[in-house]
Amino acid sequence: MASRGFLMPRGGTGEVTPQCDSSTSNVKRQAVAGDLYSTSPPSPISNPATEIPFDFNSVFNFEITASQETTPTTSEMITGLHHVRQHPRPPSTLPLAHHFYSTTLSLTPIPVPSAQVGTLAWFNISDSGQQLHIAIGRPEIDFTEEARNASRHPCFKVENAEKLRELQERVWEHYKRGGEGAPMGCDEPGTVGSGAQGVEYPKRFFARDFAGNRLEFSL
């Protein structure tokens, strides 16, 4: 009879010794010195008392210990980004977030916690379940020239090349026109752009919002 997925000892010098129990006619297995196991099927082994081949899986029951159970991987625990937080400059500039992120980028404003009204602005990113949060920054850190020129940035995924081009033209036009919530910079449509170049990068463009936060828009 063919064996099925029997656990074999390895990594030691021990032997598997079938023993007969005359009172119960059950075969017991003892593994000596080998403490690592594999799932390689063994060759059929005969009962030394009767010389009749038997299947170990029909005789022995093995339980999976806690250390052998599958542990969830990081990819199973983290399913995506919930939100990205950006910092504007003084509190008086917070209303400008709605002019840029809602009007120009077409993100959907949503309510903020009641205790933080006037200090936050939240936006849904389409129906992705992801959000953009705008908060008041710290003057000594977030309003400096170095902070306004920082390269750190979120990257917004755009549906297709046509919509990416349309969005870039809209942001560029707002930048050139100026006014409420106007971005502080934008890659000009039709130019190489300010990001690193290479075949590995998808089609994209960069801009800086009304507070100088760098933004990337990509396929």
- In this prediction, residue 145 carries a pLDDT of 72
* Topology at the third CATH level for domain 81-190+201-218: 2,3-Dihydroxybiphenyl 1,2-Dioxygenase; domain 1 (3.10.180)
Query: 11-33 pLDDT, tens per residue?
Result: 444 444 444 444 444 444 444 44
Comparing 161 with 10, the larger pLDDT belongs to: 161
123 with 132: CB under 8 angstroms? yes
Domain boundaries, the chain: 8-66, 81-190+201-218
Judging by beta carbons within 10 Å of its beta carbon (0-12, 13-18, 19+), is residue 8 exposed, middle or buried? middle
Least Cα distance to 100 among 167, 33, 18, 200 occurs for 167
- pLDDT band of 118, cuts 50, 70, 90: confident
Task: Give dist(CA 205, CA 219) in Å, integer.
Answer: 10
Q: What is the mean pLDDT of residues 150-171?
A: 92
pTM across the whole model: 0.61
Residues 161-200 as b/e (b if ≥16 CB within 10 A, e otherwise) read eeebeebbebbbebbeeeeebbbeebbeeeeebebeeeee
Q: If residue 176 lies in a helix (H) or strand (E), which one and from where to where?
A: helix 161-177
Which of 210, 207, 214 lies closest to 181 in space, CA to CA?
210
* pLDDT band of 78, cuts 50, 70, 90: confident
**Alpha helices for 39-128 (secondary structure H):** 74-77, 96-97
pLDDT band for position 187 (cuts 50, 70, 90)? very high
* pLDDT attached to residue 5: 46
Query: Hey, what are 127's tokens?
Result: 């129906």
For residue range 49-61, what is the model confidence (pLDDT) as tens digits?
Answer: 555 555 545 544 5
Give me the pLDDT at residue 79, please.
80
pLDDT of residue 54: 52
